[in-house]
Amino acid sequence: MMALVDQQLKAAGLKAQGFMDEQLLMTELALGQARLLVIGGGVEEEPRARLRKFCMDNNVLMLEHFGGPAQLVENIGTVLS
């Protein structure tokens, strides 16, 4: 699923990187270069809460996306505009 989403975002002109490891994601977010974190429906509540807090504390926009890939680009556009 992540590979499909990655291709879809690149086709829409969005630079994105997917992560399966929370620590690697947090390390990347700490660099301060991310504008938006998109969290899919498969992320469990505890890591979701930690990421929510990190984003709030570090002024990173966050989208909790529970729809399918077809709505993702539109939803990201809405959040970034």
pLDDT in tens, the chain (81 residues): 777 788 888 888 988 888 989 999 999 999 999 999 999 988 999 999 999 999 999 999 999 999 887 889 999 999 998
CATH of the domain at 63: 3.30.1330
Rg (CA), the chain: 12
Nearest to 47, CA basis, from 36, 67, 62, 34: 62
Task: Domain of residue 36: give its range.
Answer: 2-80
pTM for the whole structure:
0.87
Query: Are 76 and 6 a contacting pair, CB within 8 Å?
Result: no
Number of domains making up the chain: 1
Q: What is the pLDDT of residue 51?
A: 96
